[in-house]
Amino acid sequence: MKLRFVFLTFVLSTLTSFSQIKHGLRDEQGRHVISRGFVINTNDHKGEVFFNSDDYVRMVRMGANTQVIRLELGKLSSFPGGKLDTNYLNKLDSLVTLGKNSGMKTVFKMTVYGVRKFVWEEFWKNEKNEYDTYIDAWKVIWKRYANNTSVLGYDVVNEPRKLTMDISYSDLTKKYLIPLYQKIIDESQKINEDKMILFQSIFMNKGEAIDNNQYAEVTVPINRKNILFAPHIYQGKIDLIKPVMDRFDEESKMLKTPIFIGEWGMPTFAVTDTILEGNLGQLKYRELYIKTAEVFDQMGVGSIKAWFLGNRSMQNFLPGGLSTWAIFSDKTAAGTVERKYITDIIARPFPQVIAGDIYSFMFHHATRTLDLNIKSNNSKGASKIFVGANRHYPDGFSVLINDDTVLFYNPLKNVGLEVYKCPENVNPSDFIWDSQSQKLIVLKWPKDKEMLSVKIVPGLMNFE
Secondary structure (DSSP) of 270-322: GGGGT-SSSTT-HHHHHHHHHHHHHHHHHHT-EEEES----SS--EEEETTEE
Residues sharing a CB contact under 8 Å with residue 366, sequence separation 6 or more, in sequence order: none
CA dist 212 to 7, 143, 173, 201, 236, Å?
Answer: 28, 39, 20, 15, 8
Do 237 and 212 form a contact (C-beta atoms < 8 A)?
yes
CA dist 35 to 68, 307, 351, 378, 443, Å?
Answer: 11, 16, 9, 21, 20
Residues sharing a CB contact under 8 Å with residue 132, sequence separation 6 or more, in sequence order: none
Q: Which of 225, 221, 226, 223 shows the shortest CA–CA distance to 250?
A: 221
Q: Give me the mean pLDDT over the 146-157 stretch.
A: 98
Whether pLDDT at 75 is above 70: yes
- Under the banding of pLDDT at 50, 70 and 90, the label for residue 17 is very low
Q: HSE, CB side, 13 Å, CA atoms: give it for residue 363.
A: 25
Instruction: Please state, in angstroms and rounded to a whole number, the distance separating the CA atoms of residues 399 and 411.
Output: 14
Q: Give me the mean pLDDT over the 131-144 stretch.
A: 98
**What is residue 74's predicted lDDT score, i.e. its pLDDT?**
97
Instruction: Please state, in angstroms and rounded to a whole number, the distance separating the CA atoms of residues 90 and 343.
Output: 30
More confident residue, 313 or 216: 216
Instruction: Please state, in angstroms and rounded to a whole number, the distance separating the CA atoms of residues 372 and 401.
Output: 10
**What is residue 13's predicted lDDT score, i.e. its pLDDT?**
30
Do 411 and 387 form a contact (C-beta atoms < 8 A)?
no
E strand or H helix that includes residue 121: helix 120-125
Partners of 374 in the beta sheet?
Answer: 358, 452
Residues sharing a CB contact under 8 Å with residue 422, sequence separation 6 or more, in sequence order: 404, 405, 406, 407, 428
pLDDT, tens digit (0-9, with 9 covering 90-100), for 361-385: 999 999 999 999 999 999 999 999 9
pLDDT, tens digit (0-9, with 9 covering 90-100), for 162-217: 999 999 999 999 999 999 999 999 999 999 999 999 999 999 998 899 999 999 99
Give this prediction's pTM. Answer: 0.94
- Under the banding of pLDDT at 50, 70 and 90, the label for residue 442 is very high
Q: HSE, CB side, 13 Å, CA atoms: give it for residue 309.
A: 26
In the chain, % of residues over pLDDT 70: 94
Domain positions in the chain are 34-347, 360-458
Instruction: Please state, in angstroms and rounded to a whole number, the distance separating the CA atoms of residues 120 and 431.
Output: 53
**What is residue 279's predicted lDDT score, i.e. its pLDDT?**
65
CATH (residue range 360-458)? 2.60.40
CA triple 299-245-290, angle to 5 deg:
70
- Does a cis peptide bond (omega within 30 degrees of 0) precede residue 307? yes
Chain centroid, CA 406 distance in Å: 31
Whether pLDDT at 10 is above 80: no
Average pLDDT, the chain: 93
- Under the banding of pLDDT at 50, 70 and 90, the label for residue 79 is very high
CATH (residue range 34-347)? 3.20.20.80
Do 298 and 272 form a contact (C-beta atoms < 8 A)?
no
Instruction: Please state, in angstroms and rounded to a whole number, the distance separating the CA atoms of residues 393 and 407.
Output: 14
